[in-house]
Amino acid sequence: MTRKMAPVDEQLAVLMSGVDYGDALLKRQMERELRALLEQDRPLRVYLGIDPTATSLTLGHTVPLRKLRQFQQFGHDCVFLIGDYTALIGDPSDKNKLRPMLTQEDIALNEATYFEQAARILDPARTELRHNSEWLGKLTFPDIISLMSKFTAAEMLRRENFRTRWEDGDAVYLHEFLYALMQGYDAYALACDVQVGGTEQLFNLMAGRKIQEDEGQKPHVPVTMPILVGLDGKERMSKSKGNHIGVGDPPEEQFGRAMSIPDEVLENFFTLATNLHPDDVKAIMVALRDGERSPMDTKKLLARTIVSEFWGEAAAQAAQEHFERTVQRKEVPDEIPEYRVKQGDLLLDVVVSMGAAPSKREARRLFEQRAVTMDGLVLEPTTPARAGTTVQVGKRRWIRLV
């Protein structure tokens, strides 16, 4: 049975909204190509790939995920690709230094709940899940040589981050050049019509077009979305930088983190990290600029919107009440996790064991920032843990020692 597709102009208006190529001419070209595909009046094959370089997706990942969901809502066939082979290198697109290399064991652990997290945005029943190890793992050395012969070293060094490192005398490793080729091969292997990604990945997406064309396929249309900045308001949101909101974070954690977003990037978050209509976002920002809504109330609206889209309105309301009680009024919450103290336990051990910091190194940094207290007193990481006390880590985490 043939699927009835929505009118082309209606689809194009939604699917190209928020899309950014950093070049007006390129945007017009890609819009023309997408229109031509939509005029074929058939479901397009659209994919988004995400590398499992950390255990959880962030709000930044949801920007292209929301665009993929729009394609899905119009009846197009959508693929969520886990880049378990590209993650072996790590995308160098937004990096000014070599990424640490992951093992296959690290990658398998990281990706364990990726599809479950992506399904908070996508319709899981209508999403095809793939891994690029399915085809990249089968390439022979002659295949890789053939792939590399399609690109020159000069093309790679025209990339801003590689060029900057090269000019600064920093090392640029040969395996980093392979990333764009591997991602480009994904587009060919999936025989996709459209690839969704971030603006920083445009080089990789264009490499995919070249590989498809060389192999006799019609080149896909890249649809690239702006990068969501992190909670510092400056750098890209990333779990490794600690400036993120995790898709799977508990409601109270998401709400509290959202409340730390700088005022100057609120519009960026409303636009890219929520499902609010652009007209609603405009009205919110006008109210903020005119003084009809305070920055604090605007942040609470943003935080509540983010949490409600992942966890529901009731959870969002409870998260707001938790924030107001524990952060604004500085009350200790009634229900907090407990840690049973053992002989020789230090406060450092408590912070790491309870997941308040991912490593001892990060935990020590919290102590250096005077962000860890026990019964309100700022102490050292070597302070012994004492039953009957309450530990606070940052503004939003408490641990009762028993």
Identify which of 32-41, 167-176, 371-380 has the greatest average pLDDT. 32-41
Instruction: Report the pLDDT value the prediction gives residue 100, as an integer from 0 to 100.
Output: 67
Do residues 204 and 95 make contact, with C-beta atoms less than 8 angstroms apart?
no
Q: What is the mean pLDDT of residues 17-46?
A: 95
Q: What CA–CA distances, in Å, run from 227 to 28, 119, 356?
A: 20, 21, 27
Structural domain contains residue 293: yes
Same-domain pairing of 257 and 382: no
pLDDT exceeds 60 at position 93? no
Q: What is the pTM of this model?
A: 0.76
Closest CA to 285 of 304, 266, 272, 305: 266
Structural domain contains residue 292: yes
Closest CA to 339 of 393, 396, 398: 398
pLDDT exceeds 80 at position 98? no
Closest CA to 50 of 138, 115, 116: 115
Same-domain pairing of 69 and 197: yes
Instruction: Report the pLDDT value the prediction gives residue 191, as an integer from 0 to 100.
Output: 96
Structural domain contains residue 323: yes
Domain range holding 345?
Answer: 338-401
pLDDT exceeds 60 at position 96? no
Instruction: Report the pLDDT value the prediction gives residue 4, as an integer from 0 to 100.
Output: 80
CATH number for the domain including 391? 3.10.290.10
Structural domain contains residue 82: yes
Do residues 319 and 255 make contact, with C-beta atoms less than 8 angstroms apart?
yes
39-67 tens-digit pLDDT: 999 999 999 999 998 888 999 999 999 99
Same-domain pairing of 54 and 158: yes
Q: What CA–CA distances, in Å, run from 14 to 6, 34, 221?
A: 11, 12, 16
pLDDT exceeds 80 at position 330? no
Same-domain pairing of 88 and 203: yes
Structural domain contains residue 173: yes
Q: What is the mean pLDDT of residues 316-326?
A: 88
Closest CA to 84 of 107, 101, 103: 107
- What percentage of the chain reaches a pLDDT higher than 70? 95
**Residue 20 — very low, low, confident or very high, per pLDDT cuts 50/70/90?**
very high
Q: Which two tokens stand for residue 84?
A: 């378990």
Closest CA to 194 of 34, 81, 63, 29: 34
DSSP letters along 104-166, please? HHHHHHHGGGHHHHHTTTS-GGGEEEEETHHHHTT--HHHHHHHHTTS-HHHHHTSHHHHHHH
**Residue 97 — very low, low, confident or very high, per pLDDT cuts 50/70/90?**
low
